[in-house]
Amino acid sequence: MLMPQVNQSRPAETTLFLRSFQKPFIHGTTEKSATLPAHLTRTSAKVGSNQSSNVRIRRSVTPKASLIGNIVNKLTSNVNVVVTVLPTLGGVLTDVGIGKGIDDAKDLLGQSLQLELVSAELDPKTGLEKKRVKGYAHKTSLLDIGEATYEVDFDIPKDFGEVGAIIVQNEHHKEMFLKDIKLDGDGLLNGSVTISCNSWVHSKYDNSQNRIFFTNKSYLPSNTPSGLKKLREQDLKNVRGNGKGERKSFERIYDYDVYNDLGSPDLSEKLKRPVLGGKEHPYPRRCRTGRPPTWKDPSSESRNTLMFYVPRDENFSEVKTVTFGAKTLYSVLHALIPALESVIVDENFPYFTTIDTLFDEGIKIPPDEETKGLLRSAIPRLVKAASDVDDILQFEPPEPMDRDKFFWLRDEEFGRQTLAGLNPHTIQLVTEWPLKSKLDPSIYGPAESAITKEIIEQEIRGFMTLDEAIKEKKLFMLDYHDLLLPYVSKVRQLEGTTLYGSRTIFFLTNEGTLRPLAIELTRPPMDGKPQWKQVFTPTWNATGVWLWRLAKAHVLAHDSGVHQLVSHWLRTHCVTEPYIIATKRQLSAMHPIFRLLNPHFRYTMEINALARQLLINANGIIESTFSPGKYSIEISSVAYDKLWRFDHEALPADLISRGLAVEDPNSPHGLKLTIEDYPFANDGLLIWDAIKQWVTNYVNYYYSSASQIQSDEELQAWWTEIRTVGHADKKDEPWWPVLETPEDLIQIVTTIVWVTSGHHAAVNFGQYTYGGYFPNRATIARTNVPTEDPTDEEWKYFLEKPEGTLLQCLPTKLQAAKVMTVLDVLSSHSPEEEYLGEKLEAPWGVDPYIKASFEQFNGRLKEIEGIIDERNANSDLRNRHGAGIAPYELLKPFSEAGVTGKGVPYSISI
C-alpha cells in the first residue's frame, strides 16, 4: 500500500487511485536509504499497523511520487511526539544489566518504545473507537541533565480529532520512568499537547499489560469523551487487581490489608505482635502486599523481603536527590544504628555535662570503609571526617539550645511548648471539676483525680477561685491518664522502662502564657499493691524542685510518645494511606479530584512502608527508645479507637473539640481562640483558610450543583470506600461527613489536604529542634519517681545525688544517639522538596481559571510567610518572642533544604 489504512470514508476515485499502488512507498527510495539506522532518520508511524514505522528520508522525488504525497498530505496530518525519560537506578538508562545490549540494539533500531494515539471521540458514523495510530519512538538524545528523549512522527487522519490518551508499551527488559510526553503538529486541535506522566512504565517482559496515559484535561465521569470511556474504566480496573497473590515490585496494584506485618514470630516468640485492624485492635488499613503468612503465626504476614511492596508509582522516583529523605533514613537505620551499637556502651550519662560531648566532640564511627562512605554521602550534616582514618558522628546544637543552653529547665518553656512546640495538638480546656477517669474503677482504682481544688487555688495564689478559673477559661490540661494507665502494668514488666497515667494542669496568665500548676502520676493496682498516685507542684525547696523535674521528665516522655504514636504517625501517616488507596482505586487519573489530591500523596506509601519495616516494627527504633516499648503501636490503636474522628481532623473542628476555640463569625477565620497567642493555631488557620479557598475555587469550577456530586459514581465510590474499607473499623460512626453537595466535598478535601500538609509539617519538621537535646523531651522514662515505694538506698541516693536520679530516668547513651540521629533525618527537607502551593501541577495549568486560582493560592502563601515573620517579631506575643526563645516557624510555607524548622510540603514524604 502507498500509506497505512485509515479509519475514515474516502471518495471513490481516491480509493481507486490508491489501490493501484501495492508496494510500500518511501520518498526517494533506494536500497541503501531504506536501511539506514532508525536513530539517523525520523520515522513515520503506520496508522493502525503493528509493524515498524516507514522511514521517510528527505530526498528529491519523482513527479509521480510527489503527486501521491500531495494526496496523502490532504488525508493526513503530521504530529511529532517526544517522550522524556528520566535516569533511574536500575532503569533503562543504566549501564549494566543482562538485557542492556539487547535494549541498546532496540534503541538503535527504533523499536524500544511503542506508542498508540487514541482519539478522544468515537467515529460518528460507526459508533466505534477510531483506529488508533501506532508506531515506535526512537531514542534521539541524552541531554546534559541526564534525561533521554524518544521521538516519532505520526501521520494521523485529518478526522482523527483530539488526542485523548496515549498507550505506551516498554519494549526494554527494564522499567523506565516517563517524565512527560509532548505532542506537536498541525494534526492537533490546539497545536500542541503535553501529557504529564511522572510514572514508572514496566517492561512488557514483566507485564504485557500496556500503560495508559490520559492528556492533562480533567473530566467528570459524566463528561468523559466517548472515545475514552472504556479506557477510563480499564485503567481503574488495572490498578485494583484481584486481591490475590503476592505483589511484585513492578506492579501498580492498590488493595487493602490489616497491619499484620510488624512482628517476626518465626525469629522469636518475643517478636510476635498483635494484628492491628479488626474488632480487637481497630486500625486504618494499609496497602496489601500478599506475602505468605509466618510459620508460627498464620495471622501474621512474613517479612522475608528486603523492601516492602508499594505500588510502583508510590516509590520514590530516584531522580537526582529526590530520594534524599528516605535513602538517608534507610542508611541510618541499616548502617549507622548497628555501627553505634558496636561502639557505644549502653549506660547512663554520668553528668549533664557529658551530654554536651555529643555536640562538642561526637562519637567515633567504626573504621568500616563501606559504612563510612555510605554515611558520609547520606548524612554529611552529622558525619564529619576527624582524620584520614576516623569519622565522627557529631550533632548540631538544636536552635533552642543554641539560644539558651538551659531552656529545657524553665517551666515557662514547658508551658510554651504545649502551644508552640512539637505536639500542640493535645492541650485541652478544663471544663469540669473534679477531674475523673472513665476507666473501670474496679480494675484501675478510684476514678477521681488527686489534683484537688485546694492544690489549684494554692498555686494560683489568690488570683481567682477554681470555679472562676474554669468559668473564665483559664485552666488547661495535658490528659494522658486514661490512654496510658491500662498499659502501666504491662510496660513495667519490660526491662529498662516504666510508665504512669498522667495529668498536667496549666494556668493561663494575663500575659497569654501557660504556667504549669500540677502534675499527677498514677499507677493502677498491681502486684498486690493498691492504686498509687501523687501530685507534684512547682516549689522552692530543693527536694521539691528535683521531684518536680522528675515528674516533668515523665510527662514529657508521655508527651513524646503521644506525639510520635498519635499526633504524628496515626493522625497523618497512618490515616492517610487509605485515602491514597481509595483515590487510586476509585478516581480515574483524569478525574479532577484525583488531580487535585495526587500531589498531596507523593511518597507517603513509600515512607509508611519504610516505617513498617524499620521504625514501628518489633524491636525497631520506636520500641527500643520509647517508654511503651513493645506496646507502642498498640497504644496508637487504642487512640484510633477512642479518640480519632475524621471530622475533627479539620483544624477548626479540632480546636473547637479541645475547647481552644469557639465559633465566632465576627472573628478572623470564623473562630475566637481561647488562648489568643497560640502560635500553632494562629499560623495553622492561615494555612487552613488558604487551602480551603483554593479547594473551593477548584471544586466549584467542576461542580455547580449537588446533583453533580450525587451522580458522580467515581466520587461516591471513593468516599464510600474510604469510610467502609480503608477505615472499616470506624464505618458505622455517626460523625462521618455525608457527601451530597459541593460544600461537603470542599470540607472533606480541605481536611485531607490539611492533614497531609499543614498538620504533618507542624508535628514533623520540628522534631530535632525540640527533641535534639533530649532532656527537653526525652522519649523514654526508665525509672519510677523516687517517692513511689522507694527503698532506703534509692531514697538516699536521690537525696545525695538528685542529678544522677534524673539521668537514670532519661535515655541511655545508645538510646539518645539513636533517637537524635533519626530525629535529625526526619526533620530534614530534601533538596527536591515540593512545598505547598509552590509548583503549578501540569493538569492545573490547562484551564485559565484553575491556573489563576492556583496563582492566587501561591500569592496568599507568600503573604503568610511575611505575616508569620511579623508575628515572631512582635514582643507582645510571649509564646513566640523573647530572650532565648526560638521563633515559631513550623508553618512557614517555604524552606530551603536541610533541618530548618520550617516549610510545609505538599505531602507526607518523610
- The catalytic site residues sit at 568, 573, 760, 764, 910
Other residues' Cβ atoms within 10 Å of the Cβ of residue 71: 14
Name which of 243, 239, 229 is nearest 285 in CA terms. Answer: 243
Do residues 497 and 491 make contact, with C-beta atoms less than 8 angstroms apart? Answer: yes
Do residues 175 and 250 make contact, with C-beta atoms less than 8 angstroms apart? Answer: yes
Helix (H, G, I), strand (E, B) or coil at 293: strand
**What is the C-alpha end-to-end distance of the chain, expressed in Å?**
57
Residue type, 291: R
Cis link prior to 398 (omega < 30° from 0)?
no
| Phi and psi based region of residue 796 (left: phi greater than 0; alpha: psi -120 to 50; beta: remaining) | alpha
With b for 16 or more beta-carbon neighbours within 10 A and e for fewer, the 186-207 pattern comes to ebbeeeebbbbbbbbbbbeeeb
* Spatial distance between the Cα atoms of 192 and 182, rounded to a whole number of angstroms: 7
CA pseudo-torsion sign 631, 633, 638, 639: positive
Helix (H, G, I), strand (E, B) or coil at 605: helix
Read out DSSP for 857-881?
A: HHHHHHHHHHHHHHHHT-TT-TTT-
Residues 6 or more apart whose Cβ sits within 8 Å of residue 824: 379, 381, 382, 395, 396, 768, 772, 899
Q: How many residues does the chain have?
A: 910
Do residues 443 and 524 make contact, with C-beta atoms less than 8 angstroms apart? Answer: yes
| Phi and psi based region of residue 553 (left: phi greater than 0; alpha: psi -120 to 50; beta: remaining) | alpha
**Pair type for strands 661-663 and 671-673:** antiparallel
Do residues 657 and 648 make contact, with C-beta atoms less than 8 angstroms apart? Answer: yes
Specify the DSSP class assigned to residue 609: H
84: buried, middle or exposed (CB in 10 Å: 19+, 13-18, 0-12)? middle
Rg (CA), the chain: 32
| Phi and psi based region of residue 581 (left: phi greater than 0; alpha: psi -120 to 50; beta: remaining) | alpha
Residue type, 147: E
Helix (H, G, I), strand (E, B) or coil at 851: helix
* Spatial distance between the Cα atoms of 400 and 409, rounded to a whole number of angstroms: 12
| Cα 766 to Cα 611, 691, 772, 789, 825, distances in angstroms | 19, 22, 9, 37, 11
* Spatial distance between the Cα atoms of 270 and 119, rounded to a whole number of angstroms: 59
**Backbone φ, ψ for residue 664 (5° rounding):** -155, 100
Read out DSSP for 499-559?
A: --EEEEEEEE-TTS-EEEEEEEEEE-SBTTB--EEEEE---SSHHHHHHHHHHHHHHHHHH
- Would you state the torsion angle of the CA atoms of residues 719, 720, 724, 727, taken in this order, to the nearest 10 degrees? 0
Residue with cell 481497630: 282
Helix (H, G, I), strand (E, B) or coil at 434: coil
390: buried, middle or exposed (CB in 10 Å: 19+, 13-18, 0-12)? middle
